[in-house]
Structures are given as C-alpha cells and as structure tokens.
Amino acid sequence: MPLNSFGDWPELDKVIKEGRCEVVLHGNNKTESRQCELDEEVQSGLFHKDSPLNFIEFVSMKLRELSPTISNARHLTNLVLRSNLLNELPEEIGQLENLKLLDCANNALSALPKSMMNLKNLMTINLSNNKLSNEGLFDFTNLENLQHLDLSHNALEFLPDSLFRQNNSKLQEFIVDQNRISSVPSCISSLARVLKTFSIASNVLKDLPYPLKDFQKLRVLNLKENPFSDKRFAKLISDPRQTSSAILDYLKKKAPKSEASNEFDRALVDDQSNSDLAKLIVRIGVSPGVKRSEDIAKIRPHIVCCILRNLDLTGENMKKLISLHNKLHDSICNYRTSASIGFHDISKFEFPLNFLALEPENLKIMPLGKSSVITAKTLIGDLTTEAEALRKKQKKNTYSSIHKYLHLVKNLELYPCLVDANGLVLSFAPVTNSENTKITPESKDIFVEVTSQDKMPLCREIMNKLIQEIISTHGGTDIVVEQVKVVHENGNLVSAFPDKNDLALENLNVQRIVDV
C-alpha cells in the first residue's frame, strides 16, 4: 500500500511518513464511524519490510485478525492487542525475537501458535479473558525471561507443566483466576524461590495446595472462591485480614508429617547440628525498657525488642547477618508489608526508648545510606517520585520491591518511629532505619526491634527465627540475649522478649539468668 492511501486512517499515514517507532490506536465513536477497518491491506502497509516499529497498541479496534506481515516488525518489543475480536494469531508472530510484552487480553483466542515458544525475550504475557484450553497453549519451557503471566478467565483444567521445567525460572507473577483447575501440582515447587504473586481464585480446588507451603517469597496468595473440603482453611483464605504468611503457615501445619519441614527450617536444623558447643545466655531484668505511646497503638501497635551482646560481625558474619535480614524481610515479613526488622548499634544511641507517632513534618531522620537529615514527609515524597519514575522507565504498572510498603504510611496523619532519650530517631518503620545507628563490623552489642501493624505473634515468630539463625551462624561464640520489655505509657505490659517460651533451641546450651 503506497503512502497517503490509508483511507480513513491519517494517523497511520503520519506514522509511515515520519518513520515513527510507535503506533497507538484506541477505539472510540470517531474510529467506529470510519468505513475502512484495520484489515489485511491496511496492516500490510503499516508492517512493511524493515519497519522501525517497536511499540504497537491497538485497543478496542474490533480487530478480527493480525496480519502475518507483523513478522516484518523485527524491532517490536511491545505488542498490545487488548479488547478486540481476535480468535487466532498468525504463526509468524514467533519471528518477533525482540518481543518483551504481549497483551491479548479480552479477545476470543482458543489456541495459540506453537511458534510462540521461540519468543525467548518475552517478560510479560497477558492472555486473560479468552477461550484458551490447555491444548491451545504453547510450550513455555524456552521462555527463560518470563516474569509476569496472566491466564485468568479462560478454560484451563490444569496448570501448564511446561512452566515448571526451567532450572532458573524468573516467573514472579502468575495469575490463573476463573478457570477449571482442580489441583496444584508438586512440580510447581520449581518456582518456590522466585514466585511473588500467585492467584488461583475461582477455580475448583478441593484439596489443600500443600506444594505452596515452601513459597517463602510469596507476598500475594489468592485462593478465594474455591470449594476446599477443609472448611477452616476456606474461612481463613476468605478473611481479608489474613496475610499470605498466615495461609502458608496453615499449610505447613496441616501438611503430612513427611513434608512438614520447609527448606528454611531444614537449613536451620542442619546449621544447629554443628553448634553443639555454642552457649546462649538469656538475661532477664537488666535491660532498659521501651515505652509505647497511645498514638502509635492506633497505627502500628505491635513491637518486640531485645538486645544481642557479644556478637562477632567481622569477616563474612556481617554479610550473613544482612543477608538474613533481607531474607526474612522478603519472606515471613511479606516484603515489609506485614512486619519490619531494625538493627541498631547500642553505642550510638541513649536509652530509654520511646515508640511513638509523629507528624510527617516533625519526624526527622537520616535514612540508611544518606548523609543528611530529612523529614519523613520529604522522604516519602522522594521515594514515591522515584517509584513512579521507575515504573514509567520500565513501562510497568508495578513498583519495585522497596516501594511495596509505601502505601502503608504515606496517607497516615502520623508516622511511626522509635526515638531515643535525646530525640534521635532510630527507625521509621517500615520505611528505613537510621544511618546514625547503623551496625558495622565493629559492632558488638545491637538492639533489635520487630514491629508490625498486623499481629504480635508474628513479631515473636520473626524474632525467634532471627536469633536462631544468628546462633547457628556464630557457631561456638557465647551470645547473650537480654530481655527487653515494652510497656504502654500507662504502665501496662505490651511485650517482653524473650520469655520462657522463646528460644527453646535443641543442641544448644541455653542458660537463663534472672537478675533481680
């Protein structure tokens, strides 16, 4: 098709004349009144040989077919064909070797070209709201860069096993809501180290999905509206207050005994088996306490603290501690959305401490990695701007992991913080700890805080896991854990860690000393 002959589509004439790399058309009353459709002839003229197009978006255009000449768009990275009338895609789509995003949601696709298995650079696929069956899918094995896959609202009867054949899968988001899936296969465990979002709501699951119990990185797990035979579990997943970690904990407890220990716990036991000579001293009654204000009780009420003394953070130990900190934040803390952990060098602040709430303009902190003090209001504004810039740069609708928790605080009238006797802010949970109190390889004694807006038992569980792993890492070093009590401003006890039920560790000489 020569130039200036696109009929009712002057937008396409402009794309060709100016050699543009992007074409975006959204259906509306104006486009619906045009006589010429985006038919084979129009598309052939647009997808000409050596086409420079790298971004194509045809939304709600009543598009009935995609021309095989799409293969000429070799530079194409984004192909969006959402809300059209497509019932098939051409086999030539498999030649778009640079394609990173494919969105064909809300069409009538019943089968996909087998050639799509060659699209090794695909990172995002949205095929929701089509008519796809398992037989109509292609082999996902070679899609080693795939991170986001949405197959919701289709006719799948089981999860495609080709997704689980990769040794180094990068799949982070997997959505299969509104299908006919009856089970979660054990082979899904190949995604345990990478999957962060798994939504399989409104299917026909009856048995508990035990294979998910070891998915420590899951921050979003949606199992709602399935006919589970375990009524207690059905009630748990329907409760909007329950977190993904609570659901995983239930699966662990209910799993057959042969499968009861997850990888984290097995590693912990293995480490402790080499710590027979280590001694843990638990001291009660010597450490200063923490006072929790009435205001903070309304926005982030749960806090557990303790002091760890006689640590050796030299050499690899410092790296191991930071790695453990990050691992717990990414797993049981649900990317800081359920809880957050803070480490502080005791030599860098003064007791007693106050857990309180301040107005955003009055909370001043030197964030980790920064060299100047700023207000919490400024910090949240900077992080929000950074997140939005990153989203636009990556052309995604999701933020990076460090920004997942911003919504928990940015709309609050008061911000939670831990402050020392001189007014120094140690932490602004769950956003950042202070550079002023940061631990270093020279730190020997550290103050540990775990806070949450969800529940106190989670704080205690996190602290127990944290200390157990630290003990196993330090081997024969004699570590002292000092109990810290948190009291309400009226004097009532909020928490005391450790108590007699905490730190019951096997293969370890635990000595409890009560100082009156």
* CA distances from residue 496 to 78, 312, 482, 513 in whole angstroms, order as listed: 54, 25, 10, 15
Q: What is the CB-side half-sphere exposure of residue 342 using CA atoms within 13 A?
A: 31
pLDDT, one tens digit per residue, over 472-502 is: 776 546 788 999 999 988 888 888 898 877 7
Kindly report, residue by residue over 413-455, the tens digit of the pLDDT: 999 999 999 999 999 999 999 999 999 999 999 999 999 988 8
Strand 173-175's sheet: what is its strand order? 22-26, 55-59, 78-80, 101-103, 124-126, 148-150, 173-175, 197-199, 220-222
CB atoms < 10 A from the CB of 494, how many?
20
Quick check: 324 and 462 in contact, CB under 8 A? no
Task: Give 292's pLDDT tier (boundaries 50, 70, 90).
Answer: very high
Report the distance separating Cα 16 and Cα 20, nearest Å.
7
Q: What is the mean pLDDT of the chain?
A: 85
In terms of Cα–Cα distance, which of 437, 474, 435, 448 is closest to 310?
474
Query: Is pLDDT of 278 > 90?
Result: no
pLDDT of the residue at 468? 83
Q: How far is residue 270 from each of residues 324, 468, 469, 471, 504, measured CA to CA in Å?
A: 16, 12, 11, 12, 16
The Cα–Cα gap between 185 and 433 comes to 41
Q: How confident is the model at residue 297 (pLDDT cuts 50, 70, 90)?
A: confident
Identify whether the C-beta of residue 45 lies closer than 8 Å to the C-beta of residue 68.
Answer: no
- Decide if 121 contacts 96 (C-beta within 8 A): no
CA dihedral 69, 71, 76, 78 (to 10 degrees): 80
Q: What is the pLDDT of residue 260?
A: 37
Band (223; pLDDT cuts 50, 70, 90) = very high
Q: Mind listing the domains of the chain with CATH numbers? A: 1-155 (3.80.10.10), 157-260 (3.80.10.10), 265-514 (3.50.40.10)
